[in-house]
Copies of this chain bind each other. A is one copy, B any other.
Amino acid sequence: MALEPSVPLYIDINMSDLTKILLDESELPTAWYNIVPDLPTPPPPPLHPGTHQPIGPDDLAPLFPMALIEQEVSAERYIDIPEEVREVYKLWRPSPLYRARRLEKALGTPARIYYKYEGVSPAGSHKPNTAVPQAYYNAQAGVKRITTETGAGQWGSAMSFACAQFGLELEVWQVAASFTQKPYRGSMIRTWGATIHSSPSDLTEAGRAILASYPDSPGSLGIAISEAVEMAVKDEDTKYALGSVLNHVLLHQTVIGEEALKQFAKVGDTPDVIVGCTGGGSNFAGLTFPFLREKLGGSINPRVIAVEPAACPSLTKGEYRYDFGDTAGMTPLVKMHTLGHDFVPDPIHAGGLRYHGMSPLISHMYEEDLFEAEAIGQVECFEAAVQFARTEGIVPAPEPSHALAGTIREALKAKEDGEERVILTALCGHGHFDMAAYDAYFSSELHDYDYPEAKIADAMSRVPVIDG
């Protein structure tokens, strides 16, 4: 089976020996891919939290510039990447596709394993793929300042890098516990010129209300979102930015999969299995949507697998229902796989995979059986990460260690079956700011948590009941 549509197919024999499959800057994609018009049925609309009626573009206007709102609801299959965004992408893109020869050998598998590496970005993950266009469209719209939240700091640092490129001010509210425990992402955010606040802060009504009751609050992503949104809404020159979950964020990430398609065409190979990790879902979408386009078009037929943490199993254990995107229940209601908007997952090290819900678009596609999902405990994930580091060199972030654990499972299945399967995975970031998690692993302080059934049931009891 070979790739054809939208990809110039040529096979260079020498290329099959490569470790890294690179593209020239001239091969950087010129458009993002919007999967929505290609789906069998459209995803359900977001609803106004008060009226339970579908929301329109105007409801989002206080938060986002119109160009991003248009992308959020677009029915176009392709959206051109502005030249200014492509120029910044070129600081690290096209990103390399690696053939994991050393990992294959260590596993003794007949599978050919490829990984698309996004840790080459200045911020060290896939997040700048959307941070850069978000900063660009805001700058184009005359916005002066952006607010956002961050947990461990991946998103905040990506956004501060992007804002430096377009001369925008940025204020980041970071969850207090991370602000204290992981100070170096904050140092990076300051290096790129942004301001960082510990959340809850005394700068917002939302923050002050919480501090009044809990002066030592460790904060939460939900609280940080409330603070960033409040600051954006009350100032006309200020907008808000979100790093995952929304359609336009997923759209921007498709540059990953578009590049990977071209890279596979170069080596004349086609993935049989694609494995990504899912938190909010943006990296998974970025890698897989272009391949799912080809699958829907009938030219290839890979199995696609989303791997999530056993401690936060929104796809495999959550219900597909309308729920709030934030803890406090201030956002629109979106139909998604949810564990309940006030579900607090156990403190696993993959901070980026601790969201209570799943992107509505990905949730809808899961209902349409476009991909599979599995949940894996963090000990198996760190075992995979260490094996990967010792063979392939790169030390992975805790989030993609889930994708690596899923990949190793598939590679060992291929060995059992004696089949030459081709596996593609996404290494969405390096672990340079996550070494404390590795320390925990080596000192045997890392453990799996029980399946949080009772906690999920409790949180789900507070999810609003919506008709339709």
Contact = CB atoms under 8 A, between A and B. Distances in A.
A24 B22 CA distance: 8
Interface hub of A98, A191, A192, A391 (most chain B Cβ within 10 A)? A191
A443 to B, nearest CB: 10
Given A19-B25, A90-B19, A183 B439 contact: yes
Contacts of A344: none
What 9 pairs between A and B have smallest CB-CB spacing? A122-B393, A187-B435, A19-B90, A432-B432, A184-B435, A164-B390, A91-B393, A187-B438, A187-B439
A120 B120 contact: yes
Given A184-B435, A436-B187, A438-B190, A393 B161 contact: yes
14 contacts: A14-B26, A19-B25, A19-B91, A161-B393, A164-B391, A183-B439, A184-B432, A187-B436, A187-B442, A190-B438, A190-B439, A190-B442, A191-B389, A193-B390
A438 B432 CA distance: 16
Contacts of A432: 124, 184, 432-433
A191 B437 CA distance: 11
A376 interface: no
Interface string A34-53: 00000000000000000000
A391 B90 CA distance: 13
Contacts of A192: 389-390
Interface string A385-402: 010011111110000000
Contact of A184 (B120, B187, B436): B436
Contacts of A188: 395, 435, 438
A435 B196 CA distance: 15
A144 interface: no
A168 to B, nearest CB: 12
A34 to B, nearest CB: 27
A453 to B, nearest CB: 33
A193 B390 CA distance: 7
Nearest to A185: B435
A15 B321 CA distance: 52
A293 interface: no
A148 B231 CA distance: 52
